[in-house]
Structure 1
């Protein structure tokens, strides 16, 4: 059983891999070098923001419709509360970049090895491709540590 207190803090995403269920095809989620952070607070709140490190800056302000779509499709963001039960953490999402997730519960599995947080999903529909997938993410602890 994992110590839920170990989750508290901010973690920088190092990698993300998606495995398509049925085909076994694995590829990077977003890009080979995602840029993002997830924070678990002591009061039970979670905030996650991850972008594709290869995002292109828009040529105009505001972005064109195509630029705005590309920015949206290279982003994952949500916030809410979380509850830990052993190696399972359940997020109750208050807001999300994907309104299909707002108001839902999202289950993840976690383990910590050294200063690395490993997070995986059960089989879910990938919100970026629509295919059933399992996501595996690795984060590194950042900031001040007690």
Structure 2
């Protein structure tokens, strides 16, 4: 798995999830998707500040999904970020062999690059 975040204004890539993020996306035959991504080198929290900081290296949501052309669209029912609940999340997907490259639209993420437009480029390997 790889995860890169591109800032729209500068074209710069930031290492939002570290060098070795881990995660899964699971699609069920009856139309559900569960997405979980966490940054590398996360450590258990010792303080409330540590616990709050861990939220910067987590993306997780669950919902019903549908496919539209080369996009996977999720109607989010639960999420690590409450502002995502009740939204639709669109992802462009390109599959080459066992690799799926997933690209988000430009958006403002609650975790990083405050008030800047960014997009994520994620590569998953089929399990």
Under a length normalisation based on structure 1, what TM-score does the superposition of the two structures give?
Answer: 0.81
CA distance in 2: counterparts of 1:29 and 1:70, whole angstroms: 12
Q: After TM superposition, which residue ranges in structure 1, 4 or more long, deviate above 4 angstroms?
A: none
Gaps of at least 5 residues in structure 1 are 1-13
Is the aligned partner of 1:20 residue 2:3?
no
CA distance in 2: counterparts of 1:20 and 1:58, whole angstroms: 29
Q: Which has the larger radius of gyration?
A: 1
Q: What displacement does 1:128 show?
A: 1.3
CA distance in 1: counterparts of 2:38 and 2:75, whole angstroms: 21
Matched length: 125
Residue aligning to 2:75: 92
Residue aligning to 2:49: 66
Gaps of at least 5 residues in structure 2 are none
CA distance in 2: counterparts of 1:133 and 1:121, whole angstroms: 9
Worse-matched range after superposition: 116-125 or 127-136: 127-136
| Alignment counterpart, residue 56 of structure 1, candidates 43, 46, 55 | 43
Under a length normalisation based on structure 2, what TM-score does the superposition of the two structures give?
Answer: 0.93
Worse-matched range after superposition: 107-116 or 27-36: 27-36
CA distance in 2: counterparts of 1:53 and 1:72, whole angstroms: 13
Q: What displacement does 1:27 show?
A: 2.2
SS of equivalent residue, structure 2 residue 54: helix
CA distance in 1: counterparts of 2:50 and 2:119, whole angstroms: 28
Q: What displacement does 1:35 show?
A: 1.0
Residue aligning to 1:10: none
